[in-house]
A and B are shown apart, each in its own frame.
Chain A
Amino acid sequence: MVKRRPDLPPRARGRLARRLTAAAALGQFELPVCDACDAVVFPLQEICRACLGDQMTWRSVASSGTLLTRTVIRHSTDAYFQAHRPIAMGTARLDCGPVVFARLSSDCTEVGGRVRLFNRLDRSGEQVFVATPEDVSVEPNVVGDPNRVVKGKAVLVTGADGGIGRALVEAFVKAGASRVWTASRKAAGPDARDDAIVRHVRMDVTDVASVEAAVAATGGGVDIVVNNAGVTAISGLLDADTIEGARQEIEVNYLGTLNVIRAFAPSMKQRREGVFVNVLTVLAHANLPSMGSYCASKAAALSMTQGVRAELAPWGVRVAAIFPSTVDTPASADSPPPKLRPAQVAEAVLRQIIDGTEDVYPGRIAADLYAGWRDSHKVVERELGLALPEPR
């Protein structure tokens, strides 16, 4: 059991609520639906109130509803909430049936009015509902999580000279970051850019001393780190002449990312604030044998992502991951289309930070593959295995 810190809201939730938190982490509005009578079952329980059905299936349900009641909390026995008063909260009746408690946006004041509900993570990384007027499309960070703000933040992007890296830098500048550090092994930044916002810092992610020097060079106040540096040998696990490519992938994609997180985490922990976004791949879930060693390194990075997320959650530091399919960059020039544009990935990363989600699968291909993997990871394993050319 992780001890609660007073600068975070309560983390305690029951086992059933974990599933709701999982949906929030994925940006989904899902609730359990009774297999027998189709009633949406909430508050969470395992027996249907309507028909006593004992089997539920979690499904995406309509997030619209009506605001029933509203209050403004001006006193709390919880240290975190007491420090964050006043807090608007109320109950809403979902069109699909249940009455839910929710935090209310500042413009969500009309009792009886139509509302949209969002399933969100709070500052502790646990689930809460948020209600806004019905026409709102981007939930305005009602829980007041500083990690969901990009404007005014100091950002560092590793692998900044690559295709996705350049798009990320542009996206963060456009979103109002106060400083964007372009980190790469090179002495100068991409396009030799160095201005009031964008600054270059030399960093070899495989070299701990180099990473620590980069932390010092940035002054230690980086708020958002995007772990984008990565290498691909584009070879099978047995197909490669030596193990060097596989070793290099592990050194950069897994251990390099871990080096960066280990170097930047202490300052974030101290400030109780900070975000890591790890650029993974949907192939972190299942191995594509034609680039088998790369997939293995990303699987290691995914497992590491889960571990550091849990270690950093009690400190108010968020660890997110994005799982794209093939992206149209020089590194994947030989891969067949369809490919995501780097700007699409960068936009998804920005949106992910602003929405406070943990795992994002940008684009149709990644989303399909992820859905297939959730349905049966063995089916996806076979499909990817069959993509290997016939032996010659």
Chain B
Amino acid sequence: MKKPRDYSGVAVTTPVSCEYVRTSRRTMPWFLGRAFSELVRRSGVDKADIDGLAVSSYQMVPDNGASMAEILGIRPRFLLDLPYGGASGVMALKRAARAVQDGDAEIVACLAGDIAAQGYGYNAAFSTFSRDHVYPNGGGGMNAVFALITSRYMSEFGATREDFGRICIAQRANSQGHPMALFDKPLTMDAYLSARSISEPLGLFDCVPRMCGSEGFLVMSEERAKALGQPYALIAGAVERHNAFPNEPVVSRFGIADECQLLYDMAGIGPQDVDFIEAYDDYPVMVAMELEAVGFSQPGEAVRLLREKDLTVEGDMPVNTSGGMLSLGQAGAGGGFVHMTEAIAQLSGQPLGRQVPEAEFGLVSCLGTVNYDRGVCTAAAILRRAG
């Protein structure tokens, strides 16, 4: 595969996570509007100078990004809708960065979020395949689909519930001190294992709670970021692959497994140089698969990693340093951004929670769009500290 053009000259700034609540009488655009106003306020950029907009929300229909531009009162010349849920963070980053490099926009605001309310989220109408062929078999939703993937991973690779518990416990430890953590008390292995069963083998703490909330970040040139006096991160590399392994009867690999080498080639580093990873954590089994796909272990051997490494912010392999969605909850499509905003925050020295010491490279991997029996969209990026 030919190495793509690099992302030099592009800065990623102003990571925003806001308004996380369990329920709200507000509509989705209010949450996106809040993230947008935070971007403007914190960056000091003139709203009229934001000439690019990328939005991701499950609740956009019947409206779209153009409606958001009207609502926000901006006049974008670069407009992007990303209905890909969990994968939308890296996808927005890549496309916004190219727009800035190519001069299609000078400052792109990337926004994502949703509300948690009756009739929203994963339900019978989530996708055509789900509505027709999955949901009618017990209405287990996303939990049931990932229960099947988890059970297969366990039997194929010898993973145990304790192994997944290690992920949940470490992420819970990472959320200590995070102002928006839904779960901010330490999780014990006993509590993890004895939590009520949701869809075997998944228990309560394997599943992310639905939240209202929004996420955002800005993409602009390095010069612009410097002029604004904004701390920023750089894009060392980014890849995506969708519908990666359609012939696997049960998915056992994360979709960017074959793009991993390209990602490191772009960044000019190897897995040993990555200081922390923000891995899409809708379910802990995906974190395990992501660690394998980005070269932290051989395929099927993440279990060993989970047993030997310390996944906390201060540990030797920090994973999901904000606590991830398992601790913060998932604000719908905002879950596709929350790993990205945390990586930007870590590398620009402004995390809401604890700072990974001397972090230079952070890896973000994400997964979205569960149409039938797996997440179809996968993407990953390596961000780098500026200077």
Measuring CB to CB, which residues of chain A are less than 8 angstroms from any residue of chain B? 9-10, 12-14, 16-17, 20, 42-44, 49, 68-78, 80-82, 87-91, 93, 99-103, 111, 122, 126-129
Q: Is the CB of B139 within 8 A of A49?
A: no
Q: Which residues of the partner chain A approach B202 to less than 8 Å between Cβ atoms?
A: 71
Could you pull out 29 A-B pairs where Cβ atoms are within 8 angstroms? A9-B139, A10-B136, A10-B139, A12-B124, A12-B125, A14-B128, A49-B246, A68-B148, A68-B249, A71-B151, A71-B201, A72-B200, A75-B140, A76-B140, A77-B121, A77-B141, A78-B135, A81-B138, A87-B137, A89-B144, A90-B148, A91-B148, A99-B250, A100-B133, A101-B373, A111-B155, A126-B136, A128-B136, A128-B137
Alpha-carbon distance A102/B121, docked complex (angstroms): 23
Q: Is the CB of B152 within 8 A of A71?
A: no
CB contact between A43 and one of B133, B143, B155, B201 (< 8 Å): that residue: B133
Contact with A along B186-211 (1 / 0, CB 8 A): 00000000001111111000000000
Question: Could you list 8 further interchain pairs (A-B, Cβ under 8 angstroms) beyond the known A68-B250, A87-B137, A122-B136?
Answer: A13-B136, A14-B131, A43-B133, A71-B202, A74-B199, A78-B123, A81-B140, A101-B137
Q: In the assembled complex, how far is the CB of residue A318 from the closest CB belonging to chain B, in whole angstroms?
A: 17
CB contact between A12 and one of B131, B134, B196 (< 8 Å): that residue: B131
Q: Is the CB of A80 within 8 A of B137?
A: no
Q: Which of B147-189 contact A (CB under 8 A)?
A: 147-149, 151-152, 155
Q: Is the CB of A71 within 8 A of B140?
A: yes
Residue of chain B at shortest CB distance from A80: B139
Q: A10-B124, A12-B125, A103-B137 are in contact. Are A73 and B199 (CB under 8 A)?
A: yes
Alpha-carbon distance A108/B134, docked complex (angstroms): 18
Alpha-carbon distance A42/B132, docked complex (angstroms): 11
Contact with A along B41-80 (1 / 0, CB 8 A): 0000000000000000000000000000000000000000
Alpha-carbon distance A74/B143, docked complex (angstroms): 10
Q: Which residues of the partner chain A approach B125 to less than 8 Å between Cβ atoms?
A: 12
Q: In the assembled complex, how far is the CB of residue A246 from the closest CB belonging to chain B, in whole angstroms?
A: 44
Output the residue of B139, B143, B144, B155 with the most chain A CB within 10 A. B139
Q: Is the CB of A74 within 8 A of B197?
A: yes
Q: Is the CB of B144 within 8 A of A44?
A: no
Q: Is the CB of A71 within 8 A of B199?
A: yes
CB contact between B198 and one of A75, A93, A127, A129 (< 8 Å): that residue: A75
Alpha-carbon distance A44/B129, docked complex (angstroms): 8
Q: Which residues of the partner chain B approach A91 to less than 8 Å between Cβ atoms?
A: 148, 249-250, 373
Q: A49-B246, A89-B144, A91-B250 are in contact. Are A68 and B138 (CB under 8 A)?
A: no
Q: Which residues of the partner chain B approach A102 to less than 8 Å between Cβ atoms?
A: 137
Q: Is the CB of B133 within 8 A of A78?
A: no
Say if the beta carbon of B296 comes within 8 Å of chain A.
no
CB contact between B200 and one of A17, A44, A74, A101 (< 8 Å): that residue: A74
Q: Which residues of the partner chain A approach B7 to less than 8 Å between Cβ atoms?
A: none
Alpha-carbon distance A319/B141, docked complex (angstroms): 30
Q: Is the CB of B136 within 8 A of A71?
A: no
Q: A91-B373, A101-B133 are in contact. Are A71 and B147 (CB under 8 A)?
A: yes
Q: Is the CB of B200 within 8 A of A71?
A: yes
Residue of chain B at shortest CB distance from A127: B136
Q: In the assembled complex, how far is the CB of residue B132 from the closest CB belonging to chain A, in whole angstroms?
A: 4
Output the residue of A13, A14, A16, A72 with the most chain B CB within 10 A. A72
Residue of chain A at shortest CB distance from B148: A69
Q: Which of B313-371 contact A (CB under 8 A)?
A: none
Q: Is the CB of A99 within 8 A of B139?
A: no
Say if the beta carbon of B122 comes within 8 Å of chain A.
yes
Say if the beta carbon of B372 comes within 8 Å of chain A.
yes
Q: In the assembled complex, how far is the CB of residue A216 from the closest CB belonging to chain B, in whole angstroms?
A: 39
CB contact between B141 and one of A42, A76, A90, A103 (< 8 Å): that residue: A76
Q: Is the CB of B124 within 8 A of A16?
A: no
Q: Which residues of the partner chain B approach A10 to less than 8 Å between Cβ atoms?
A: 124, 131, 135-136, 139
Alpha-carbon distance A332/B128, docked complex (angstroms): 50
Residue of chain A at shortest CB distance from B243: A49
Q: Is the CB of B139 within 8 A of A69?
A: no
Q: Which residues of the partner chain A approach B151 to less than 8 Å between Cβ atoms?
A: 69-71, 111
Residue of chain A at shortest CB distance from B372: A43
Q: Is the CB of B249 within 8 A of A93?
A: yes
Q: Is the CB of B200 within 8 A of A13?
A: no
Alpha-carbon distance A88/B197, docked complex (angstroms): 13
